[in-house]
Amino acid sequence: MPLATFEIEPTEPQRGSVIWMHGLGATNHDFDDIVPLLEAPWLRFVFPAAPVRAVTVNRGMRMPAWYDILSFDNPALREKASDVREAALEVQALVAREHARGVAYENIVLAGFSQGAAMALHVGVRSEQRLAGVLVLSGYLLLAAQFEAERHAGSAGTPFLVCHGRHDPVVPVAGGRQAYTRLKEAGYPTELAEFEMQHSLCMEEVSRIKEWLAQRFA
């Protein structure tokens, strides 16, 4: 069953689309208030809702989650790989849907926060097409051992913006820095922006995102 989405349509001639994934336990309305601040009325914003599933590290509680988190302590067993791959197919289907609606792949941005950021990064490097860009907000690299083997040559040239709070107690800044380093080493045009915040967004970060989106669609 396709992911449910909440969408904000452009109010000016459309130049592209942003598919934005929310974080663990959140909803696809978490970033409604951000859109006007980005001052990009020429973009369609698509906010998918993650399926509800049991999350092991939260004592099996059911909540919106892109994948089950198995452990915070063992990176090799951190996320359930089958969940990640299933969610990736659903996000890829949204990218294909935007393309079918007339948006060129190179005008589609993947974005996300926390778990959603991890998904945006995961799908972005495996894309068979170069995208307009990938926004990784307080995220990290999923299935890190498979990064080199699974990244697709078609994604070469896709720009990444990795944003992270230096005082993040949920996803430590080391996770964002590791993702940035791996992307740079793989040849992706990647920028790292760190902010004096915890696991959240701040106005300085919103301004950086606004600037980055404007550059993608100049």
Residue 99 is a catalytic residue: no
Question: Under a CB-based contact definition with an 8 Å cutoff, are residues 110 and 131 in contact?
Answer: yes
Contact 20, 112 (CB under 8 A): yes
29 a catalytic residue: no
Strand partners for 5: 48
Tell me which of 17, 22, 68, 114 is the catalytic residue. 114
Q: Taking a C-beta distance cutoff of 8 angstroms, is the pair 131, 92 a contact? A: no
CA dist., res. 218 & res. 213, Å (int): 8
Is the Cβ–Cβ distance between 175 and 141 less than 8 Å? Answer: yes
Active-site pick, 30, 83, 99, 199: 199
Tallying the residues shown for the chain, one arrives at 218
Active-site residue (options: 22, 122, 138, 168): 168
Residue 168 designated active-site: yes
Q: Which residues are catalytic?
A: 114, 168, 199
